[in-house]
Amino acid sequence: MPLSEELRGLDRSEAEKRIEKYGFNELAERRLANLVESAAKLLSDPMGAMLLGLSATYWMLGKTTDAIILGCA
């Protein structure tokens, strides 16, 4: 497409179809429920529970750096 050619957006009907299909272009609100769901998902996964347990163990042993690294994993 040459640079002199005018760029155009969607026509009204196409925009309305996309709004109906995908919704408005808005960010979803973060809720406390998302945090609770994430924590429940982490603890229900055996690997996540093990990493969290190991992180707590390292923290109790005074190895803070290792605890933070495991906690972030």
Residue 52 lies in a domain: yes
Predicted local confidence at residue 39, as pLDDT: 79
Predicted local confidence at residue 27, as pLDDT: 77
Residue 67 lies in a domain: yes
Residue 28 lies in a domain: no
Q: What is the pLDDT of residues 29-67, one digit of tens each?
A: 766 677 778 878 888 889 988 888 999 999 999 999 999
Residue 9 lies in a domain: no
Residue 64 lies in a domain: yes
* Residue 56 belongs to domain spanning: 45-73
- Domain count across the chain: 1
Residue 26 lies in a domain: no
Which tokens hold the place of 69? 């690294």
Residue 1 lies in a domain: no
H-assigned helices in 1-73: 12-22, 32-44, 46-60, 64-72
Mean pLDDT of 5-9: 73
Dist CA 17 CA 9 (whole Å)? 14
Residue 7 lies in a domain: no
